[in-house]
A and B are shown apart, each in its own frame.
Chain A
Amino acid sequence: MTKKTMPYAIELRDISKRFGAVQANKDICLHVAKGTIHGIIGENGAGKSTLMSIIYGFYEADTGHIEVDGQRVDIRNSEGAIQAGIGMVHQHFMLVETFSVLENVMLGAEGGALLKNGIGAARIELQRLAQEYSLDIDVDAIVEDLPVGLQQRVEILKALYRGARILILDEPTGVLTPQEADHLFRILHALKEQGVTVLLITHKLREIMASTDNVSVMRQGEMVAHRETAHTTKEELAELMVGKKVRLTVNKDEANPSQVLLSAKHLSQFDSQGVKRLKDVSLELRAGEILGIAGVSGNGQSELLNVLSGITLMDEGEIDFAGQVINAKAPKDAAQMRDLKMAHVPEDRHKMGLVTGFEAYEAAILGYHNSDAYNGKVLMNRKAMLDECNTRMADWDVRPPNPHLKTANFSGGNQQKIVIAREVEQNPDVLLIGQPTRGVDIGAIENIHEQIVKLRDAGKAILLVSVELDEIMALSDRILVMFDGAVVGELDAKDADERTLGLMMANAFNEEQSGGQTASAEATGAHV
């Protein structure tokens, strides 16, 4: 731990919180030294979010208390947290997209019924903050026009504007490009220099190693270890997180791609506003190969998955699949694509992959509900559904193995297992899989990765869409990079490194090269 003489910015003493039978936090003690960046790392469901919600006043702890600057504080809501000098940047931004930066920062601190006085004061204060922490931003820009990295900056400014001296960031890099993430960490260091204390919650070991002073590890609701970042390693932290040795790479043999199972030619798609979201995308999926699609989220990957799986109709181009030509004139819907043996694990399991209000055994047949296996002549065969759900829950280690539990009440990783089991067990020829391990803990990630490789080795074609570069690089045999709806590069997985992919994802690869910068030599496979 840090030196005992340093004052603590925030201390948690024996915080416990239960939700029914679940002990989300158990006797949590945490000391965060002033002016440091303190990482909190742990699997999903380890209790990180609950702990932060207690600090920020969303939940009340059952026992224990919080001290800020050595003073005991009683935080009952977010106003209380702000008064105690605690600010929070949520994973999903809490911004009014149609408001300007200035208006967003003022929100809730307007300073009177008329905006006129408040605006002037806010503008001056914002400029001071921007200067002090080198958080450059156009205060009159409309938030929805800003890139994600700048939107996050607005969230940080919002917290600072309210006088936050302790800043909590919840999974801040999930939506950022590697370059934007680097920039964020530079900002955090600048904040630290100014005496702000930063609590960084993440599951990315790389970020912990790169940017924190101290790190605390949570596992199953308990704080299991505190380390000085300089005196620990990725491997040790990973082990502490899951309680056993994990490998961060995927064990797989050389791919052995054979015939083309699906070929997409010049796919384009417009959204309801007439904006072209998918631009002339062509790709081939081969048996025995994992094709990875890298890209910052929102660059056409979702549209590509939806068009390939039949959820939305392409406007131009065609898909050759299972001896069928599918185009705007001869469309196939999602059910028909399933019949042709295509399976699809959607990116967002809550919005698309599951019906969270359904019991698990009902959600476990979504999309296959017309299958004879689950139906009698008139009524559905509930017993068959339950039997199969029980078997799958055992095979895939879904916890708790209760087919009658509401889907919403499973943890993220277990929900994902339900979805992946459903799709993989149909033994598809082509599997589309989006963000397979988003919000899934490390133990389950390993299991999911193994299943994907197993499916590849069985001669299936797999399209993997992920915003996690680690995952793309570990799993894929071939990588396409998408930017702004188009494929901007293709490279063999062997030739891929983070820097190259990161530049391609920001569509800056060419510029860097032409700017005389030394891009890595392996990237020659990329044609933009």
Chain B
Amino acid sequence: MSQAKVPAWVNMALIPMLNILLAFLVSGLLILAIGENPVEAAGYLIYGAFGYDEGVGYTLYYATNLIFTGLAVSVAFKGGLFNIGGEGQAYIGGLGVGLICLSLDHTMPFYVIAPLAIIGAAVFGAAWAYIPAYLQARRGSHIVITTIMFNFIASSLMVYLIVNWLKEDGRMAPNSRTFEENAWLPYLHEILSPLGIEIGDSPLNLAFIWALLCCVFVWGLVWHTRWGYQLRTLGTNPTAARYAGIDTAKVTIWAMLISGGLAGFVGLNEIMGVNHSLLLNFTAGYGFAGIAVALMGRNHPIGIILAAMLFGALYQGGAELAFEIPTITPEIVVVIQGLVILFSGALEHMFKDRIEGFFIRRAVA
């Protein structure tokens, strides 16, 4: 008398699609309310995100950050941990990248700097996650509270470091000096043009490829290693984990270290790939958006890539929309993004029972 089978595609595709459609429907009503044409607005949004090379490049560039933070949230979540600290871990991960680049760009070639920057991002991000992880595993402090607080600490720490130590002398802007070009991650349009493939100029850079590799890494780690087995056991049934002799504190700490390291890779994309200097607030909320991405992507790498692309498209298409229709301000675009998060994250179960019930009845009939 186990529950009846609902086809997998219903849960994986149909329900998320319905949720997104509903979010767009409500957005459409909103746009009607401010006196604009929702169909026209949707056209701009889609064209902006996917209609031309540069737009696609921007969409994927935004998606890169979201893949990193989405993966970070999902690895912790597989172990039953709610890591809200992606924002701070990404910020500190960027510090790691920046320090490597600033200290080596005069002396070392790119192929030495790049792997060290990757390690720097991972180590700094992981270190920032370690303290909440330790407190949760060994002292019982709740990880949600500590990771949120560590976002604020990261923010303050970065202001202090950049303003007092890393700012370029004689300048007002709170930035470090610009790195030498051998510490820049190459743009994809630069890599592809010698091969005869021309794509439009965009900030899309090598970090995107690294993000895809990270998806493969997470997939293998979580579903195909014994550590992943322990992680999933802990996440679904902590009592069974203790029964199985799994060192739950150790698994908890490692899950957070990996989560923090993945979040830290945002720094590769932003600091080394696009800004080429260490600056304030480059994380711009990607750490939080990663929670929605992971939720919507069902904590699976494939789902996370798709969800990250959707949110990337909203960022990029939304910017286009705000540009083309001035009455739709950037704030309205944020509202649309919020609606998508609301309907696909917070309200994801709204239709679930009814749709599943429909398929169960159909299977019975």
Contact = CB atoms under 8 A, between A and B. Distances in A.
B142 interface: no
B239 A351 contact: yes
B1 A355 contact: no
Nearest to B228: A380
A353 interface: yes
Nearest to B363: A20
A358 B3 contact: no
A428 interface: no
Contacts of B236: 355-358
A310 B247 CA distance: 12
A334 B242 contact: yes
Contact of A49 (B1, B2, B247): B1
A62 B242 CA distance: 42
Most buried by A among B232, B240, B245: B245
A47 interface: yes
B334 to A, nearest CB: 36
Contact of B224 (A353, A355, A379, A408): A379
Given A45-B1, A310-B245, A355 B237 contact: yes
Given A333-B247, A408-B2, 13 more contacts: A20-B5, A20-B360, A45-B1, A311-B242, A333-B245, A352-B237, A352-B240, A353-B243, A355-B232, A366-B243, A367-B243, A369-B244, A409-B3
B229 A19 contact: no
Contacts of A19: 1-4, 360, 364
Given A335-B246, A367-B245, A47 B226 contact: no
Interface string A32-73: 000000000000010101100000000000100000000000
A300 interface: no
A131 interface: no
Interface string B205-244: 0000000000000001000111001101100110110111
Contact of B240 (A49, A337, A353, A408): A353
B294 to A, nearest CB: 17
Interface string A151-187: 0000000000000000000000000000000000000
A362 interface: yes
A358 B232 contact: yes
Contacts of B1: 19, 22, 24, 45, 47, 49-50, 411
A369 B244 CA distance: 9
Interface in A313-359: 333-338, 344, 346, 351-358
Given A355-B237, A379-B224, A380-B229, A334 B2 contact: no
A443 B5 CA distance: 27
Contact of A346 (B232, B243, B246): B243
Nearest to B361: A62
B191 to A, nearest CB: 30
A336 B244 CA distance: 10
B230 A22 contact: no
A113 interface: no
Given A352-B243, A409-B3, A362 B229 contact: yes
A255 B245 CA distance: 32
Contacts of A379: 220, 224-225
A400 to B, nearest CB: 10
Interface string A486-528: 0000000000000000000000000000000000000000000
A369 B230 contact: yes
A380 B3 contact: no
Nearest to A408: B2
Contacts of B243: 309, 311, 334, 344, 346, 352-353, 366-367
A18 interface: yes
B362 to A, nearest CB: 11
B226 A375 contact: yes
For chain B, what secondary structure do more than half of its interface residues adopt (helix, strand, loop), or is it mixed? helix
Contact of B225 (A49, A362, A367, A380): A380
B361 to A, nearest CB: 9
A369 B360 contact: no
A410 interface: yes
Interface of A: 18-22, 24, 45, 47, 49-50, 62, 309-311, 333-338, 344, 346, 351-358, 362, 366-367, 369-370, 374-375, 378-380, 382, 408-411
A379 B245 CA distance: 20
Nearest to B246: A335
Contacts of A311: 242-243
Contacts of A354: 237, 240
B220 A355 contact: no
A104 B237 CA distance: 31
B244 A356 contact: no
Contacts of B224: 379-380, 382
Nearest to A46: B1
Interface string B233-273: 10011011011111100000000000000000000000000
Contacts of B364: 18-20, 62
The 10 closest A-B pairs by CB, nearest first: A335-B245, A20-B4, A334-B245, A409-B2, A367-B244, A357-B236, A379-B224, A352-B243, A355-B237, A19-B4
A448 to B, nearest CB: 19
B245 A338 contact: yes
B130 to A, nearest CB: 23
A369 B220 CA distance: 16
A313 to B, nearest CB: 11
A362 B232 CA distance: 11
Contacts of A380: 224-226, 229
Contacts of B230: 369
Contacts of A356: 236-237
Contacts of A370: 226
A334 to B, nearest CB: 3
B163 to A, nearest CB: 45
B213 to A, nearest CB: 16
A417 to B, nearest CB: 15
Contacts of A355: 232-233, 236-237, 240
A408 B229 CA distance: 17
Interface in B319-365: 360, 363-364
Contacts of A337: 245
A85 B1 CA distance: 27
Contact of B233 (A62, A336, A366): A366
B71 to A, nearest CB: 19
A408 B240 CA distance: 14
23 contacts: A19-B2, A19-B3, A20-B360, A20-B363, A20-B364, A22-B4, A334-B242, A334-B243, A335-B246, A338-B245, A353-B243, A354-B240, A355-B233, A355-B240, A356-B237, A357-B236, A366-B233, A366-B244, A367-B243, A380-B225, A382-B224, A408-B2, A410-B2
Contact of B2 (A22, A375, A382): A22
B235 to A, nearest CB: 9
A369 B229 contact: yes
Contacts of B5: 20-21
Contacts of B220: 379
Nearest to B241: A355
Question: A21, A22, A352: which has the most chain B beta carbons within 10 Å?
Answer: A352
Contacts of B229: 362, 369, 380
A335 B244 contact: yes
A346 B240 CA distance: 10
Contact of A378 (B225, B232, B240, B360): B225
A344 B364 CA distance: 40
A374 B228 CA distance: 14
A369 B231 CA distance: 12
A353 B244 CA distance: 8
B77 to A, nearest CB: 13
A352 B241 CA distance: 8
Name which of A18, A20, A380, A410 has the most chain B CB atoms within 10 A of its CB: A20
Contacts of B4: 19-22
